[in-house]
């Protein structure tokens, strides 16, 4: 791998590690320092490696430069003057003792502690996801904007406000007390769940970005599993859910980036290795006596990896949706349940249940009704699909609905 290929790769894998440790060191009082030093480390690498060539150990080189830059900042900057010690002469003599620990263990601990710090109820979900992508995943502002179908200015403002809020609330980057970890972990799992969904259900045509979002959510969830205190049944259930969904990633879009619906997917593209991993984590999640929404959603996702299109399969999925609605009701879950009802018991019963939902401003609601009425009442089916076309927000969604209308005609 040459310099042009290696540096972007290392930025993706190492920036987040360096930034996490620096955040841990400087705290949310000075978030810009951590990001500036991490970014400047890679800028120095780009300039130096271009002239002198690659060092023998590029990762160790980056860590050494990051440590030195952090120490230089502490030595000369206002943070050193105000935060480290009021006695400048004494502090200057002892500055060498300040250590920026970039060991594997400290990096993992810093990332885990940052997860708990970022996932605060004082921040809206989109801000939590944005900070996770920026700090824990090393995504650039433009990438985050693309993920949210937004723009750089909006994302910059959102992240700035989020950091300010954490600073005002004096949020510490540390593990919660042992007695609180299970409860606090729920907010972390929710953020990772939403992060995965941003990738898996994204309407962006950038398949690489969408896949990266999913992989980062899985990587961070695996960090939780590796830590004894956060290796909870819910964590394993969420990991199982992600593995089952990710197993069908390649089959969900065509060569043009258009969405392929479940019943039209090429099952030969499903990833058996990820399905196997999903089963492994689902088995681990069975410890304890608590049934979370992640357990039920993982079970539903497992049934979706069964290739046979049988009544037994869809009846099982239907019953699981009934259980999920009891645990965590949402209109989207109710809508998905209606599709399972159709597959298990036919269109007429599903139409009756769907129309009770009255999700008139949801384009997926009208897409489903358009599908259910097809072959029963073509005119009503067309009305729903045309309504869905008006409500759909992205080009990908609109193109798919236009195809449905063409097929209906």
Kindly report, residue by residue over 206-260, the tens digit of the pLDDT. 677 688 899 999 999 999 999 999 999 999 999 999 999 999 999 998 887 778 8
Name residue 253's beta-bridge partners: 259
Note the pTM of the prediction, 2 decimals.
0.89
CA angle in degrees (0–180, nearest 5) for 192-158-169: 80
- The span from the CA of 129 to the CA of 407, in Å, is 38
CA angle in degrees (0–180, nearest 5) for 131-134-135: 80
* Closest to 158 in 3D by CA, of 144, 143, 175: 144
Q: Would you write out the chain's pLDDT as a tens digit for each of its 409 residues?
A: 666 778 888 998 999 999 999 999 888 988 889 999 999 999 999 999 989 999 999 999 999 999 999 988 887 765 445 555 555 444 444 444 557 888 999 999 999 999 999 998 899 999 999 999 999 998 889 889 888 878 999 999 999 999 999 999 999 999 999 899 988 999 999 999 999 998 888 766 667 768 889 999 999 999 999 999 999 999 999 999 999 999 999 999 888 777 888 999 999 999 999 999 999 999 999 987 889 999 999 999 999 999 999 999 999 999 999 999 999 999 999 999 999 999 999 999 999 999 999 999 999 999 999 999 999 999 999 999 999 999 998 888 898 999 999 998 8
In the chain the first and final C-alpha atoms are separated, in Å, by: 53
Q: How far is CA 59 from CA 37, 42, 140, 252, in A?
A: 16, 11, 20, 36
The pLDDT score that the predictor gives to residue 316 is 98
- The span from the CA of 399 to the CA of 409, in Å, is 15
Which residues, at least 6 apart from 68, have a Cβ–Cβ distance to it below 8 Å?
none
Residue 242 structure tokens: 């992600």
Q: Are 152 and 145 in contact (CB under 8 A)?
A: yes
Residue 246 structure tokens: 């990710």
The pLDDT score that the predictor gives to residue 92 is 42
Which residues, at least 6 apart from 227, have a Cβ–Cβ distance to it below 8 Å?
108, 112
- The span from the CA of 333 to the CA of 365, in Å, is 12
- The span from the CA of 318 to the CA of 209, in Å, is 32
Summarised one tens digit per residue, pLDDT across range 108-124 is 999 999 999 999 889 99
- The span from the CA of 212 to the CA of 317, in Å, is 28
Q: How far is CA 269 from CA 209, 217, 230, 240, 265, in A?
A: 20, 22, 33, 19, 8
């Amino acid at each position: 791998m040459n310099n042009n290929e290696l540096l972007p790769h290392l930025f993706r894998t190492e920036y987040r590690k360096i930034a996490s440790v620096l955040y841990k060191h400087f705290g949310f009082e000075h978030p810009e320092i951590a990001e500036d030093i991490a970014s400047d480390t890679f800028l120095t690498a780009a300039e130096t490696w271009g002239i002198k060539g690659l060092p023998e150990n590029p990762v160790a080189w980056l860590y050494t430069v990051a440590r030195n830059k952090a120490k230089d900042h502490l030595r000369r900057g206002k943070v050193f003057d105000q935060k480290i010690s009021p006695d400048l002469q004494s502090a200057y003599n002892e500055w060498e003792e300040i250590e920026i620990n970039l060991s594997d263990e400290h990096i993992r601990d810093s990332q885990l502690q940052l997860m708990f710090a970022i996932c605060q109820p004082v921040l809206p979900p989109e801000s939590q996801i944005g900070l996770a992508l920026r700090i824990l995943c090393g995504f650039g502002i433009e990438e985050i904007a693309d993920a949210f179908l937004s723009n750089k200015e909006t994302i910059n403002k959102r992240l700035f406000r989020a950091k300010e809020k954490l600073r005002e609330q004096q949020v510490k980057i540390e593990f919660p007390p042992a007695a609180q970890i299970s409860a606090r972990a729920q907010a972390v799992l929710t953020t990772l769940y939403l992060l995965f969904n941003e990738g898996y259900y994204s309407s962006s045509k950038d398949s690489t970005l969408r896949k990266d979002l999913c992989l980062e959510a899985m990587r961070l969830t695996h960090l939780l599993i590796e830590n004894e205190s956060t290796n909870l049944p819910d964590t394993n259930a969420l990991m199982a859910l992600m593995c089952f969904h990710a197993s069908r990633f390649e089959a969900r879009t065509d060569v043009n980036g258009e969405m392929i619906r479940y019943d039209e997917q090429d099952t030969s593209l499903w990833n058996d290795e990820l399905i196997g991993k999903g089963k492994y984590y689902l088995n681990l999640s069975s410890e304890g006596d608590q049934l979370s929404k992640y357990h039920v959603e993982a079970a539903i996702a497992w049934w979706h990896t069964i290739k046979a299109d049988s009544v037994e399969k869809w009846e099982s999925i239907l019953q699981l949706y009934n259980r999920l609605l009891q645990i965590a009701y949402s209109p989207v879950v109710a809508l998905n349940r209606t599709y399972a009802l159709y597959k298990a018991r036919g269109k007429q019963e599903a139409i009756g249940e769907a129309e009770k939902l009255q999700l008139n401003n949801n384009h997926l609601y009208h897409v489903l009704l358009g599908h259910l009425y097809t072959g029963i009442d073509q005119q009503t089916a067309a009305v729903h699909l045309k309504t869905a076309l008006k409500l759909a927000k992205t080009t990908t969604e609109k193109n798919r609905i236009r195809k449905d209308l063409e097929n209906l005609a």
